[in-house]
Chains A and B, each alone.
Chain A
């Protein structure tokens, strides 16, 4: 059976001849939560941004449920079934919460949109109370919720998040990860780039460790923490990278 999401020797970077991702191959099975770890500058963010079509790809391939999406432009990824939540600036600050959802639901049939927005508000009741507020006035945690709701509204098959816990208070971090586990139970495959390795591994199934743009190690999330190879590759950097 084909993987839900798969990259095959992916090479990508902003400037030609200076790849940040240098031949990364990962494989994500349906309904898995996969965590991508690695020291600073390893190309974790660039990897998922390249998958999302935001960083130019110069080699290798990306497949979503067996269909190649390597050269699909970023704005068509949603239709392909792939949603992405950037780390920062992931909501439109001058649109209301409701309009943030509406503008993200462009791919849905018109009749479906209103119902789907209500479903999102049911999933994130915090947001429902703020629906007419400008997204820019939300707290950091609420913004992450809105960003996730915005990504989920189109019923993606794969949800990719870039450091969803960055800058959040511990209480919110816990909430975000609990919500991600819930989302996976709803049938969505989740790919997560995280600095907060402990929290991410607690909900993850498997993890990849990226070093210098390549996959250096792959292991089940539960055992990764005790893996000596990983300790050497990555956890040595924990003092500055792992928080």
Chain B
């Protein structure tokens, strides 16, 4: 029984980390209309930054500064915000598609660095021995899972409240005005771009934080964790939850992660070992089709505000 609860706590922790990433994407896309196809890259940057700063010294790899976990998290947010801000600075005066392409590029290059810059990232083997909050409890798995879950929950709630506050602030109102009304954007001129860069950087910081928290939850990271599938899951979560609403982002993350894990467990139980890889591929196909179907028939998502995103013109 306690094991089951422990597993539930672990499941919830993972789902909540997705919720944090989705909250970051919601600020970028849902609130500001900025398209990010490189979510996985920003999450990876956060994870690696925090890991490098907090792990004990390791031979053959830079970093291992043994800093406190919280310092790692703050640095993760700062570095990711910087990368997101630069990406926004380069592309946000241009067409929306160029931001999408550039974020895709950021994710590809981050993946390359993670895989190949062994001296920095440990290469394909990744970084291990990342300190875990309340790591002293590790020999009591259930309790450890509960405390970890508590930490993730606290971070999620804080992020949620902070973003809700930002959304309601004058700053958030400007972002919504920019998204809804191009004339407002034009009248704001140069500062419109600056607002968008800020929103993109803050959203990136939230993703970086999520990456860092996850790294410290698992204690080990590798390039495989940050493939395009991750980006894609987060998009499915946001679209299912209904972009524009922080509550929807969290709900979407929980539901899609449950569906994902459920489908995985089901195929693990039903599909013979030899076909597991194929079943996993099919799982992604289904989510891909689901994303397209949501875009086609329910663009407001399942939990989102009941409003039409597009005027029925043209």
Contact = CB atoms under 8 A, between A and B. Distances in A.
B272 interface: no
A15 B313 CA distance: 5
Contacts of A15: 311-313
B contact patch SS = loop
Contacts of A16: 312
A interface, size bucket: under 10
A219 B85 CA distance: 63
Interface string B209-220: 000000000000
Nearest to B312: A16
Nearest to A14: B313
B307 to A, nearest CB: 15
Nearest to B314: A14
A15 B311 CA distance: 8
A15 B312 CA distance: 6
Contacts of A14: 313-314
A222 to B, nearest CB: 40
A154 B68 CA distance: 77
A15 B310 CA distance: 11
A14 B312 CA distance: 9
Interface string A14-49: 111000000000000000000000000000000000
Contacts of B311: 15
A16 B310 CA distance: 13
B163 to A, nearest CB: 33
A180 B314 CA distance: 32
A48 B314 CA distance: 17
A14 B313 CA distance: 5
A16 to B, nearest CB: 6
Contacts of B313: 14-15
B221 to A, nearest CB: 49
B239 to A, nearest CB: 25
6 contacts: A14-B313, A14-B314, A15-B311, A15-B312, A15-B313, A16-B312
Interface of A: 14-16
Q: Which 6 A-B pairs have the closest CB atoms?
A: A14-B313, A15-B313, A15-B311, A16-B312, A15-B312, A14-B314
